[in-house]
Structure 1
Amino acid sequence: MNNGQSNALLGAFLNTIFQVFNAGSSNTASVDGGGVA
């Protein structure tokens, strides 16, 4: 696996975790993950 692919997978994983946390911690957070940058 090359470094770029590894970073893409890691980014997707962290983004999923963040979206779940953000949605769970605030009912005003949009489902598509928009809001806090």
Structure 2
Amino acid sequence: PHSLNREELTANFRDGILEITAGKAVNHTSVSVQLED
């Protein structure tokens, strides 16, 4: 999915349990501000 940070994706398999940890990606948004003179 696009909402996950793939660089922070890890998986561990221990005692028959698969644990997957993924960081949420930061969504960058732009904001427009109108300035008056």
TM-score, with structure 1 as normaliser: 0.21
Structure (1 or 2) with the larger CA radius of gyration: 2
More strand by percentage? 2
More helix by percentage? 1
| Relative contact order higher in (CA < 8 Å, ≥ 6 apart) | 2
TM-score, with structure 2 as normaliser: 0.21
